[in-house]
Amino acid sequence: MIDTDDKNPSQLIYHAVPGAGFLLAGLLALIVLFFRMKQCPPDQTLQGSRNPCRDKKLLGPYGLLVMALAAGGCFWLGTDYGNFFHQVLFMCYFMAALVAFLESRERVASGWTQPAIALASFLIGFLWTSHGLHKTGMINSRVHVYAGLIDLSTAAAFAYSSIQDSFIAQVAGWALIMLQGVWMFYIGLFFCCIDINHHLVEAHLVFAVLAVTVMIILVIAAADFPKVRNTHQGEEGGDYRVVSSSTLEESEAPYLHGNVKHRATPRSVMDVALS
């Protein structure tokens, strides 16, 4: 059973409010991402302003809204030193939102928002994990550690998407933010209303992961993206092109095979089609 002495109904509110924020943020970002992918021609990419994380028209309002919510969150649970942990959490979100707002005003380099989200997620994941390790109860500790692992995974997804400009990594990042929202609801229910066997904590987390994953897969399948169909073209031989000897560059020499010159692109068919 749950290893907490008292169940406090206020715990549901404390966890459900930020959980709803995560769910809404991840859902809206995925809607924008999928809509733009649907509108994007197969031979073009989501780079530049097509990327929601680089669209100045979106970054400005988003940055202001999250900064306001994060600033309010610093005072929501009180200003005493006992709430310093939660205040620092909100400061991490404020930092990422500040970078997004400054990028919309061209005061920082283009493309800084994704690394900022990655850094904020990493710091928050570190805080949640260390917070959970200091908890005394078994379930109390594990649910917080798993919240930290979700944030650390989010950091990895956004870091990779900022380096490779990967559509798949962006989807994963926003899906993990949605998952964090679902898990926050779980934590609130654990400490407010329901009992749970400590053997089932991981099962609840995996169920939440499966629910979010299957939902996104079904949406992608129903949307019938042209770029998704393109990933099935040339799948047997990979993404190759024949280069004539007169145009072969020295940098392409390592790709010579027999009498035919081939140059394999460094990215897979999936990455090329969904970039």
More confident residue, 186 or 268: 186
Going by pLDDT thresholds of 50, 70 and 90, the confidence category of residue 247 is very low
Going by pLDDT thresholds of 50, 70 and 90, the confidence category of residue 48 is low
Tell me the DSSP string of 80-106: SGGGHHHHHHHHHHHHHHHHHHHHHTT
- Report d(CA 209, CA 178) in Å as an integer: 10
Inform me whether the pLDDT recorded for 36 exceeds 60. yes
Going by pLDDT thresholds of 50, 70 and 90, the confidence category of residue 77 is confident
User: Which letter does DSSP use for residue 41 in this model?
Assistant: -
- Report d(CA 118, CA 114) in Å as an integer: 6
Going by pLDDT thresholds of 50, 70 and 90, the confidence category of residue 53 is confident
Region 14-36 average pLDDT: 91
**Cβ-count burial of 71 within 10 angstroms (0-12 exposed, 13-18 middle, 19+ buried)?**
middle
Inform me whether the pLDDT recorded for 238 exceeds 70. no
The dihedrals phi and psi of 256, each to the nearest 5 degrees, come to: -70, 135
The dihedrals phi and psi of 86, each to the nearest 5 degrees, come to: -70, -35
User: Which letter does DSSP use for residue 42 in this model?
Assistant: T
Region 37-61 average pLDDT: 78
Decide: 227 and 274 in contact? Cβ < 8 Å.
yes
Of the listed ranges 56-60, 76-80, 112-116, the least confidently predicted one is 76-80
Of the listed ranges 15-19, 87-91, 249-253, the least confidently predicted one is 249-253
- Report d(CA 106, CA 124) in Å as an integer: 27
Place of tokens 């907490």: 4
Place of tokens 């550690």: 145
Take residue 12 and report the two structure tokens written for it: 């549901």
